[in-house]
């Protein structure tokens, strides 16, 4: 099931802010910490974007797509995330949105200097992410066992919160019980499944990901250490 906050409408149609705010609250309320909801509503109202809550995706927790060929920009966030992980992921993607809007605004200003597009997770994004997360870094939003870990992570955020072992571990404590474990916790050569359809054998680590052999196709895949997997006995 997908829950969309905004549907494409003709440019002449205007949605009253109060109605838009209620729609955002109704969609995001079940997914966010209660004390952060109003702040997020204001962020989205200030710089609107299509936002959709989607089903679980193993490859990513959220993504941002800028406007292309007349289609509006879009953010998606996995609906299976716990409220704290959902907040971090959503603000992460909103930071991409804000950085993109700021870059587009600079393109309209006359200058003789060539303006290059900022890196996806470069300085501009990190600065925006830090600015947008700062109002949430308090004990009203995050519990005491997560707050210091999130604050440390925000000093130099990575492209994915799952890439930060300490943050990923702290957030996982608030996930509902399940049978999954992090890929990095499995021993070498262990067999596991990601979706219950294909089975893999864990191999060596290459830089930031593990080589994993698909037993059905003999193809090699690179999988994140924090990917939730289910070990299979041989």
How do residues 21-35 score in pLDDT, each as one tens digit? 888 999 999 999 999
Whole-prediction pTM: 0.74
Give the position of tokens 């593990």.
210
Q: Are residues 137 and 209 in the same domain?
A: no
pLDDT at 161: 81
Q: Are residues 134 and 201 in the same domain?
A: no
pLDDT at 53: 94
Q: Are residues 126 and 198 in the same domain?
A: no
Q: Are residues 154 and 196 in the same domain?
A: no
Q: Are residues 60 and 40 in the same domain?
A: yes
Q: Which two tokens stand for residue 160?
A: 């994915």
Q: Are residues 104 and 206 in the same domain?
A: no
In the predicted model, what is the mean pLDDT of the chain? 86
Q: Last residue of some domain: 149, 172, 195?
A: 172
Q: Are residues 164 and 185 in the same domain?
A: no
From the DSSP assignment, how many helices (H) and strands (E) are in the chain? 6, 10
Q: Last residue of some domain: 172, 192, 213?
A: 172
Q: Which residues contact 208 (CB under 8 A, 6 or more apart)?
A: 163, 224, 225
CA dist 56 and 58 (Å) reads 7
Q: Are residues 209 and 133 in the same domain?
A: no
pLDDT at 14: 46
Domain with 211, as residue range(s), is 181-231
Tell me the backbone φ, ψ of residue 190, rounded to 5 degrees: -70, 150
Q: Are residues 195 and 155 in the same domain?
A: no
216 band by pLDDT with thresholds 50, 70 and 90: very high
């Amino acid at each position: 099931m997908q829950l969309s906050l905004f549907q494409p409408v003709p440019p002449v149609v205007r949605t009253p802010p109060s109605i838009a705010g209620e729609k955002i609250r109704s969609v995001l309320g079940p997914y966010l910490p209660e004390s952060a909801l109003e702040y997020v509503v204001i962020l989205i109202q200030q710089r609107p974007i299509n936002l959709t809550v989607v089903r679980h995706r193993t490859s990513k927790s959220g993504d941002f797509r800028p406007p292309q060929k007349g289609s509006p920009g879009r953010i998606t966030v996995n609906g299976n995330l716990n409220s704290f992980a959902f907040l971090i992921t959503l603000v992460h993607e909103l930071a991409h949105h804000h950085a993109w809007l700021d870059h587009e605004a600079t393109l309209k200003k006359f200058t003789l200097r060539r303006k290059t597009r900022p890196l996806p997770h470069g300085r501009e994004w990190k600065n925006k992410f830090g600015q947008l997360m700062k109002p949430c870094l308090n004990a009203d939003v995050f519990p005491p066992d997560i707050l210091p870990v999130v604050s440390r992570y925000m000093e130099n955020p990575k492209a994915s919160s799952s890439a930060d072992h300490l943050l990923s571990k702290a957030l996982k404590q608030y996930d509902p019980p399940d049978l999954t474990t992090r890929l990095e916790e499995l021993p070498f050569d262990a067999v596991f499944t990601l979706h219950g359809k294909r089975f893999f054998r864990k191999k060596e680590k290459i830089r930031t990901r593990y080589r994993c052999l698909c037993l059905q196709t003999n193809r090699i895949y690179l999988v994140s250490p924090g990917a939730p997997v289910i070990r299979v006995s041989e």
